[in-house]
């Protein structure tokens, strides 16, 4: 199968006198390099200019909160099981009375750590999560000179209550459509649940 039209058959023949001089070949090479002086550089001046990334770029993780500001993660551990690089570890704890505004369900992650040096940003954690809690964002993980700093705990992973991270760019139309299916428990918000309960009462 022909893939390109640049195929060249290698022939082991004696070089002609002109070829043996090498000078025409050198001149040819030099015109090529000279032409490159006037070409546009391919460099992206990183700190000033950021390269455009695709909408589905998988960068640093975020642990989402729900619409009431409670953490969605219930420390089920499915993300850690799904993780091929074994980058995720967590400790589960039971929600105490009075913490209902902090954690969405009775179980929550007391410790949730992702080792960014191990993570391969495959996105399987995001797919495995039944609670829509973990997502990969378009943010690039900053570098560090220290290995310890690269283990991201909840302080770095859980989104800020006041500045929720917009993930709409990352969602494919299929996912958006699926999330509208309120019969799936993990797609329900507290409001939805209230509405459903009311509906059930009426029936």
For other proteins, the closer of residues 10 and 32 by Cβ is 32
H-helix segments, 83-172: 124-128, 154-157
Output the smallest distance, CB 45 to other proteins, in A.
7
Output the smallest distance, CB 52 to other proteins, in A.
19
For other proteins, the closer of residues 33 and 146 by Cβ is 33
Q: How does strand 134-136 pair with strand 107-115? A: unpaired
For other proteins, the closer of residues 4 and 43 by Cβ is 43
In the chain, what are the helix, strand and coil shares in percent, each to the nearest 5?
A: 30, 15, 55
When computed from its CA atoms, the radius of gyration of the chain, rounded to whole angstroms, is 27
H-helix segments, 47-189: 78-82, 124-128, 154-157, 173-179
For other proteins, the closer of residues 38 and 98 by Cβ is 38
In angstroms, the CA 86 to CA 118 distance is 7
Output the smallest distance, CB 34 to other proteins, in A.
7
Positions touching other proteins (CB under 8 A) are 26, 29-30, 32-34, 36-37, 39-43, 45
Output the smallest distance, CB 15 to other proteins, in A.
14
């Amino acid at each position: 199968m022909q893939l390109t039209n640049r195929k060249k058959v290698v022939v082991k023949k004696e070089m002609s006198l002109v070829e043996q001089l090498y000078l025409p070949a050198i001149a040819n090479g030099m015109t090529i390099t000279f032409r490159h002086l006037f070409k546009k550089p391919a460099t992206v001046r990183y700190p000033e200019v950021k390269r455009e990334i695709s909408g589905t770029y998988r960068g640093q993780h975020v642990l989402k909160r729900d619409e009431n500001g409670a953490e969605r993660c219930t420390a089920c551990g499915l993300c850690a099981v799904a993780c091929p690089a074994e980058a995720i570890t967590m400790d589960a704890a039971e929600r105490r009375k009075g913490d209902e505004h902090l954690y969405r369900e009775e179980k929550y992650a007391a410790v949730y750590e992702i080792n960014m040096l191990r993570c391969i940003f495959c996105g399987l954690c995001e797919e495995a999560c039944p609670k829509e809690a973990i997502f990969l964002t378009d943010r690039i993980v900053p570098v560090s000179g220290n290995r310890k700093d690269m283990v991201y705990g909840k302080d770095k992973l859980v989104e800020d209550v006041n500045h929720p991270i917009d993930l709409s760019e990352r969602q494919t139309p299929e996912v958006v459509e699926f999330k509208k299916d309120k019969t799936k428990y993990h797609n329900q918000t507290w409001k939805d649940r209230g509405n459903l309960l009311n509906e059930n009462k009426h029936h």
